[in-house]
């Protein structure tokens, strides 16, 4: 089964495209943020470590995140269906860990898809973010690219949505700077391994950006199972 990584700056639409791609390709969509929340809710030893770190304002280490990914990638549904990783890896060290995890499971990476976008568009999108006020849910929306079904209300748990005080243009530009500094080197990492596929997110409907993604994969010969070509739903 095929396994994919989605890369790209914050605001590029990795989450939205990842959900579409996973559903239509029959892949397990693994979001690092969701995985962290699930692990904490499970009460596992690893989840308790994460909860303790976050409660103290600390950062979850590469080692812990990679351990969570290793645990998830060894589960039957992923081994059977393949997966899409959204939010991992973020660094070259994490990419090395991912390769080791895949090797241990006798799996490989089909492609690392870079979803890029014009920087001003990213700033606009990031400034339009809304977050669920229910901490156990944590759903994230964007009033432009991924609005809730009902304005100001979370689709998942019906809690109120709010705009975080740090979702400003200045903060958005800082997030992009950090991305360029810490995560962008992964582009060269995967280019050297001939796994990089690039697509561009534009200010259009998600379906149009999805078609561009599929076309980029087809041209690179990285859509092995042909699901994109069938536009499977």
Active site residue 193: no
Q: Which of 80, 150, 164, 232 is catalytic?
A: 164
The secondary structure of the chain, three-state, reads CCEEEEECCCCCCHHHHHHHHHHHHCCEEEEHHHHHHHHHHHCCHHHHHHHHHHHCCCCCCHHHHHHHHHHHHCCHHHHHHCEEEECCCCCHHHHHHHHHHHHHCCCCCCEEEEEECCHHHHHHHHHCEEEECCCCCCCEEECCCECCCECCECCCCCCEEECCCCCCHHHHHHHHHHHHHHCCHHHHHHHHCCCEEEEECCCCCHHHHHHHHHHHHHHHCCCCCCHHHHCCC
Q: Which of 129, 130, 146, 222 is catalytic?
A: 129
Active site residue 90: yes
Q: Which of 23, 24, 71, 90 is catalytic?
A: 90
Active site residue 119: no
Active site residue 211: no
Active site residue 164: yes
Q: Which of 72, 107, 146, 175 is catalytic?
A: 175
Could you give the residue numbers annotated as active site?
14, 90, 129, 164, 175
């Amino acid at each position: 089964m095929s396994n994919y990584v989605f890369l790209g700056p914050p605001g590029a639409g990795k989450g939205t495209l990842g959900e579409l791609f996973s559903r239509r390709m029959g892949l397990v969509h693994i979001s690092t943020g969701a995985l962290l929340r699930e692990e904490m809710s499970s009460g596992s030893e690893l989840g308790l470590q994460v909860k303790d770190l976050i409660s103290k304002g600390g950062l979850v280490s590469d080692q812990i995140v990679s351990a969570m990914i290793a645990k998830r990638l060894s589960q039957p549904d992923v081994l059977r269906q393949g997966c899409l990783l959204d939010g991992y890896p973020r660094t070259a060290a994490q990419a090395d860990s991912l390769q080791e995890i895949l090797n241990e499971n006798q799996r490989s990476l089909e492609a690392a898809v870079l979803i890029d976008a014009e920087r001003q568009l990213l700033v606009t999108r990031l400034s339009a973010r809304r977050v669920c006020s229910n901490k156990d849910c944590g759903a994230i929306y964007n009033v432009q690219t991924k609005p809730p079904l009902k304005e100001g209300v979370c689709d998942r748990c019906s809690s109120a949505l709010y705009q975080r005080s740090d979702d400003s243009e200045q903060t958005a530009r800082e997030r992009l700077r950090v991305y360029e500094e810490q995560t962008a080197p992964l582009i060269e990492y995967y280019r050297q391994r001939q796994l990089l596929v690039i697509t561009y997110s534009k200010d259009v409907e998600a379906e149009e950006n999805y078609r561009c993604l599929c076309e980029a994969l087809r041209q690179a010969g990285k859509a092995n199972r042909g699901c994109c070509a069938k536009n499977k739903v």
